[in-house]
């Protein structure tokens, strides 16, 4: 019997994740109204749900169940959402729109948006630890997951990458500096998503290493693809010959090596990532491999 197609898989798991995210929010009577409302506003605003899907796919690749992986998958999405809320703030990117709607600070004001981000960050740890207990996940597995979540989302991970990005605004001159930023700002949370799923699914050390390598490579590919889409999207809107000054000056892979070589780089990183998975004897690697191709070919 063949499994679901990628489209069915994405649709099914997205619905399941959204349902779980909605029910993982604190009860209405438990927290002040504006806090719950602002947490829900951003958490339930759609998005690709790519990180939680990778967590589930990694657990399944090891022979584990989606059911056991879903709570940690949701915790990753909470961390991701907090980072987007804070990234949009006036002190950082000062964006008015995210996922097609007004940003949190535009709707709730800056102070509540900061606190909504803080609340999602801490609620992620609560949800992960609590549900792991409910699913009977071994204490040392939970400890490793919490340790890695702090590591990959914290100063040596995503937050460090964000600060390096801000420093880079003064002028990046080398591609290695850009790699550092992308690795931490983008890949680290993807690596966490995969390793956490792997741990829940019972991955061996070799499989965890493969998931790390896969995540680092597809994370970088994902970010380069994002930068390509940023330019191509603008070109579609503005006409081929015209490109906004801001996008032209943004120091990205296309800025350093051009669009065509950036596309090649996305393809070669994706292949490298897939190779790591193919060589690590996963019982069910197919969906992970298909997801890598899907992310590389995405147009939004
Ligand atoms: C403020 C602590 C802090 C960190 C900010 C994640 C981040 C770091 C900033 C967001 C801006 C950005 C371009 C980050 C790079 C990673 C990335 C491409 C995020 C967008 O992720 P998607 O495409 O978003 O998965 P959706 O909306 O689909 O969930």
Task: Specify the ligand 1 atom closest to the Cα of 77.
Answer: 29
| Distance between CA atoms of residues 219 and 52, nearest Å | 14
- Rounded to two decimals, what is the model's pTM? 0.94
ipTM of the complex: 0.91
Domains annotated for the chain, with CATH where assigned, are 6-294 (1.10.600.10)
| Distance between CA atoms of residues 185 and 162, nearest Å | 6
Task: Specify the ligand 1 atom closest to the Cα of 80.
Answer: 6
Does the Cβ of 83 fall within 6 Å of ligand 1?
Answer: yes
User: Residue 58 Cα, ligand 1 centroid: separation in angstroms?
Assistant: 21
Does the Cβ of 47 fall within 6 Å of ligand 1?
Answer: yes
CA dihedral of residues 248, 293, 264, 223 (deg, nearest 10): 30
Residue 171 φ/ψ region, left for φ over 0, alpha for ψ in the -120 to 50 degree band, beta for the rest: left
User: Residue 76 Cα, ligand 1 centroid: separation in angstroms?
Assistant: 12
| Tokens coding 260 | 């065509």
Residue 218 φ/ψ region, left for φ over 0, alpha for ψ in the -120 to 50 degree band, beta for the rest: alpha
Does the Cβ of 50 fall within 6 Å of ligand 1?
Answer: yes
Does the Cβ of 234 fall within 6 Å of ligand 1?
Answer: no
Task: Specify the ligand 1 atom closest to the Cα of 49.
Answer: 29
Does the Cβ of 293 fall within 6 Å of ligand 1?
Answer: no
How confident is the model over 28-61, as pLDDT tens digits?
A: 888 999 999 999 999 999 999 999 999 999 999 9
Q: Which of 79-83, 94-98, 128-132, 237-241 has the lowest mean pLDDT?
A: 237-241
């Amino acid at each position: 019997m063949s499994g679901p197609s990628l489209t069915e898989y994405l649709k099914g798991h997205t619905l399941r994740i959204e349902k779980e995210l909605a029910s993982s929010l604190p009860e209405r009577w438990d927290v002040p109204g504006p806090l719950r409302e602002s947490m829900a506003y951003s958490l339930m605003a759609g998005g690709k749900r790519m990180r939680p899907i990778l967590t589930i796919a990694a657990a399944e690749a090891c022979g584990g169940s989606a059911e056991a992986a879903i709570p940690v998958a949701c915790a990753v999405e909470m961390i991701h959402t907090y980072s987007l809320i804070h990234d949009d703030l006036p002190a950082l990117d000062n964006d008015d729109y995210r996922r097609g709607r007004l940003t949190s600070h535009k709707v709730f004001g800056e102070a509540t948006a900061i606190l909504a981000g803080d609340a999602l960050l801490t609620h992620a740890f609560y949800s992960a630890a609590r549900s792991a207990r409910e699913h009977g996940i071994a204490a040392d597995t939970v400890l490793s997951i919490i340790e890695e979540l702090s590591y990959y989302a914290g100063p040596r991970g995503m937050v460090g990458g964000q600060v390096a990005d801000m420093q880079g605004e003064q002028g990046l001159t080398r591609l290695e500096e850009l790699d550092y930023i992308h690795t931490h700002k983008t890949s680290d949370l993807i690596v966490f998503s995969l390793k956490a799923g792997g741990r829940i699914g019972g991955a061996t050390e070799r499989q965890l290493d493969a998931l790390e390598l896969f995540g680092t490579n597809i994370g970088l590919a994902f970010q380069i693809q994002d930068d390509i889409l940023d330019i191509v999207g603008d070109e579609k809107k503005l006409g081929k010959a015209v490109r906004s000054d801001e996008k032209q000056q943004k120091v990205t892979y296309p800025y350093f090596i051009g669009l065509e070589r950036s596309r090649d780089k996305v393809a070669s990183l994706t292949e490298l990532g897939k190779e790591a998975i193919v060589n690590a004897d996963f019982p069910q690697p197919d969906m992970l491999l298909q997801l890598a191709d899907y992310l590389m070919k995405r147009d939004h």
